[in-house]
Amino acid sequence: MVVKVYGPAYASPKRVLVCLIEKEIEFETVPVDIFKGEHKDPEFLKLQPFGVLPLIQDGDYTLSESRAIIRYYAEKYKSQGTDLLGKTIEERGLVEQWLEVEAQNYHGPIFNLVTQILFAPISGFPSDQKLIQESEEKLGKVLNIYEERLSKSKYLAGDFVSLADLSHLPFTHYLVNQMGKDYMIKDRKHVSAWWDDISSRPSWKKVLQLYKYPI
């Protein structure tokens, strides 16, 4: 059964795509145009009542929330492709910890920066300069803790790449490229080496090559 991934152009679905490629899982994509409001269509809301991407369908199994989807496939195909959960239950605990840090500490400010700097202008809304400044400060503090952590281990959860690292790719790509805020990464030696490592993985390069960002 081929996995269907909805909305491959957007950042959160790319979190799923890069992991599916790492796990060597066959998939196809279904375009969803957020700018046309297709994620709020009644048919889509039946599958995903919050009206957010991503969503996958795998036979008659439907799952949403990118970090839930990547956990599901990383576990279901544990021994296929790259192992993204660590070797022991203790390593998996650390993967879960850093995946939560990404979701709870890193994602909030970087999402605000992406929304205010890239999406507000094309949506005709004024950018909230105070929110931009606060978000950059918050993200900087999180990155300082990453710098310390990555001075001790090659990846966030230890010396093995995991879901926790890959989960940072889609929004950090915006930061480093479209938003011109690459100094936030480059000015921190260990974060910079980590970013170079994860963003040059063939899986991520393939995602970028196949599924252009909307902006």
What residues line the site for a second copy (CB under 8 A)? 49-50, 61, 63-65, 67-69, 71-72, 75-76, 89-90, 92-94, 96-97, 99-101, 103-105, 142, 145, 148-149
CB of 91 to a second copy, least distance (A): 10
Quote the least distance from Cβ 137 to a second copy, whole Å. 15
Closer CB to a second copy, 18 or 101, in the complex: 101
Residue with Cβ nearer a second copy (17 or 63): 63
- DSSP structure string for 11-62: HHHHHHHHHHHHTT--EEEE---GGGTGGGSHHHHHH-TT--S-EEEETTEE
Distance in Å, CB of 76 to a second copy, minimum: 5
Query: Whole-angstrom Cα distance, residue 177 to residue 120?
Result: 17
Question: Which is closer to a second copy, CB of 138 or CB of 154?
Answer: 138
First-to-last C-alpha distance (Å) of the chain: 32
Nearer to a second copy, 146 or 204 (CB): 146
Do the beta carbons of residue 184 and residue 143 sit within 8 Å?
yes
> To the nearest whole angstrom, how small is the minimum distance from the Cβ of residue 204 to a second copy?
22
Q: Which is nearer to a second copy, 75 or 137 (CB)?
A: 75
Strand positions, DSSP E, the chain = 3-6, 27-30, 55-58, 61-64
Round to whole Å and give the CA distance between 51 and 37: 9
Give me 142's structure tokens.
Answer: 């999180």
Secondary structure class of 142 (helix, strand, coil) = helix
Residue placing its CB nearer to a second copy in the complex, 33 or 90: 90
CB-facing half-sphere around the CA of 26: CA atoms within 13 A: 3
CB of 22 to a second copy, least distance (A): 18
| Minimum gap (Å) between residue 202 Cβ and a second copy | 26
